[in-house]
Amino acid sequence: MIREPAPVLAPAPWLRESSGELRVTAVRTFLCAPQGCPYVIVRVETNEPGLYGLGCASDPQRTRAISSVVDDYLGPMLVGRDPADIEDVHRLLLNSGYWRGGSIANNALAGIDVALWDIKGKVAGLPLHSLLGGRAREYADAYTHVDGDDAGQITEDVLAAHERGYRHVRVQVSVPGTDTYGTAPADAVESERRRLRLGSWDTASYLRHVPAVLADVRERVGTGVELLHDAHERLTPSQARQLVRAVEDAGLYFLEDALAPEDAAHFAQLRTAGSVPLAVGELYSEVGQYLPLLEQRVIDFARIRIPTLGGITPTRKLVAACELFGVRTAPHGPGDVSPVGQAANVALDVSSPAFGVQEAARFTDSTVEVFPGSPVPVGGRFYPSNAPGLGVDFDETAARRYPVTAPLEHDRWALLRSTDGSAHRP
């Protein structure tokens, strides 16, 4: 789905007029789903023929709302502006809603922000990482995902990933009788049950089953590969403390989202429960949510999601803060972050001393077709593009072949319930 641009308006009087000849002429959003999940792609066009920028504003659960914020509110404010004034534009658009912030508004802002950085790189003739200070490393280590029912099967898949060059592998363990996050359904019936969210979540079964499997996998694979695990915010603070103690023998590179954002104040207690490195942040929509955790030194990895934080402009400042407090970054990069968003991740990864590891999505052939220049890991590593800007393009004709699903269809993914029928965090 491609929305037509809103009527072009004259620049509002409180917006600084263009300081040069280059100016923004239109802002458009494109909705497509070559990966299966909805993408919101923002295109900022200029009066220079062929010069435009691309940004990722993807939130698979609120796709159309974000598109409307860009097309109907933020985009028209940008027309006539100099695209080089990114800091000024970002602050003005951020404040324009008055009740600023939140995931929907920030995703919309991020689409524009990243597109402006893309334009800046193209105007300069430099890749984005050069604008962010240049390379601090030659490549960014990536982690891939493995899931399974038992330690033997998981071990085989971890070692196979290691053979392909991955030094980091996230391991998710299916728990019999419960709807476990991050594991593939066993058959078509189970797949449909999960799609309709007919299953349920049993925390007690998870806590009994998963730590033992992770420890078994560690013993089988040895110490030559880093293992990660994602609890996906499904635990209470006390349950999270139990998990931290229970997974000590697994020697994890990090344990992700042991606590939900609402329970972040408990990270200090979680830190004392064990020595497992802690990662959190993909659900955070404000840079300020990280600051107490950095200041208290209670996390080890920041799982930043550039679209949800409002773009490169605020995220690069957060990354600098992580460096100052000794916290490493592990940017969110699953399939619901488009190749445009992943390219922004890689640019920050290779330019920051704070970088730890990058999540690697397995982009489908359809996604790579729609996004020429998509970042694809080689030997478990992301190498930065040397093309100006992000180095990723967008094929509108190909995108039309992959329309998004109806509103609420993708929301089913998040509609989880406990065994007693109560709503549970996904």
Helix (H) or strand (E) holding 52, with range, is strand 52-56
How far apart are the C-alpha atoms of 192 and 380, rounded to whole Å?
32
Beta-carbon contacts of 190 under 8 Å, excluding residues fewer than 6 positions away, are: none
Q: At what angle do helices 103-124 and 312-324 cross, to 10 degrees?
A: 90
Show which residues are catalytic: 181, 232
Output the pLDDT for position 9. 46
d(C-alpha 152, C-alpha 41), whole Å: 41
Q: So what's the pLDDT on residue 256? A: 98
Structural domain boundaries of the chain?
131-386
Distance, CA of 411 to CA of 426 (rounded, Å):
11
For residue 314 the two structure tokens come to 């605020």
Note the pLDDT of residue 220. Answer: 98
Alpha carbons 70 and 109: distance in angstroms, whole number = 7
Q: Render pLDDT for 252-303 as a digit per residue (tens, 0 to 9).
A: 999 999 999 999 999 999 999 999 999 999 999 999 999 999 999 999 999 9
pLDDT digits (tens, 9 = 90+) for 17-39: 555 699 999 999 999 999 999 99
Q: Would you state the structure tokens that stand for residue 358, as one six-digit string?
A: 């990058």
Rounded CA separation 108/203 (Å): 35
Instruction: Yes or no: say if 382 and 355 are a contact pair by the CB < 8 Å rule.
Output: no
Segments in 1-85 forming alpha helices (H): 63-68, 75-78
DSSP class of residue 167?
S
Domain 131-386 sits in CATH at 3.20.20.120
Give pLDDT, residue 409: 83
Looking at residue 209, its pLDDT comes to: 96
* Predicted confidence band of residue 14 (pLDDT cuts 50, 70, 90): very low
Q: Where are the beta strands (DSSP E) in 258-370?
A: 278-280, 301-302, 328-329, 358-359
Closest CA to 371 of 50, 54, 89: 54
Quick one: average pLDDT of 200-220? 96
Confidence of residue 408 (pLDDT cuts 50, 70, 90): confident
**Residue 185: pLDDT band with limits 50, 70, 90:** confident
Half-sphere exposure (Cβ direction) of 4: Cα atoms closer than 13 Å: 2
